[in-house]
Amino acid sequence: MIELAIIGGTGLNTLEGINITKKRVMRTPYGEPSGPLTFGEYNNKEIVFLPRHGSGHTIPPHKINYRANIWALKEIGVSEVISIAAVGGITKELYPARLAIPDQIIDYTWGRNNTFCEGAEGNVVHIDFTHPYDKNLRNRIILAAKKAEINIFKGGTYGATQGPRLETSAEISRMERDGCHVVGMTGMPEAALAREAGLAYATCVVVANHAAGKKGQEEISMKEIELHLKKGMEQVKLLLIEILNDKE
């Protein structure tokens, strides 16, 4: 039985400390996932890892085949998915290299294939999405962070933008007025597709930079992003190991 799937984001293309057992290329009715699924073992538990942007980080956020990724995970019998994603921090508690476990989403993306329910099935499906992330899985991540003494922000609203460009400072001001705490480009439609597929899904975000305009007039540099991500992803790795240690 596969205990857990991890979708890795920018800065997390591989999983260290996990014994890789096999890789599997999958085909789905929606095309190919971002790459082969990597199966691994930790503490006698089987997990599967999928780098969202491809193993060489070549797929931009708006080109990711979110449907194929979620479908492939469902197909192999996964029931829980933890998504890892880099974000910009909008509110002051979400400073660079800090981790957060958001509990809400606002979707600003457009033109993405965002559903498995195309109407062709003969009935119209409207999933409930009041609470977009799985409560139980979120709680387990939060508990693991506490145990591992990792500084996380519990909650917050993830604003999903289209990318691949970063935002203007006016866009970030608007998102802040809307109630967003962090901004990222990959949180949707991934979360909604997971709900449609009946998978328990939660996300752990890593603040890579102050969102546009949140550090005076300074422009956002890739160097800054890389530096903070490196630090944040070290914490993510510890967190994931703690979650796996916790699972019976």
Residue 86 Cβ vs ligand HPA, minimum distance, rounded to whole Å? 4
Q: State which residue, 107 or 167, has the beta carbon closest to ligand HPA.
A: 167
> Which residues make up the interface to ligand HPA (CB under 6 A)?
86-88, 161, 166-167, 183-185, 208-209, 211
32 or 226: CB nearest ligand HPA: 226
End-to-end CA distance of the chain: 13
Q: How far is the CB of 64 from ligand HPA (least distance, A)?
A: 13
Give the C-alpha separation, 191 to 104, whole Å. 11
In this complex, which beta carbon is closest to ligand HPA, that of residue 15 or of residue 211?
A: 211
- CB closer to ligand HPA out of 112 and 140: 112
CB of 96 to ligand HPA, least distance (A): 10
Total length of the chain: 248
CB of 92 to ligand HPA, least distance (A): 15
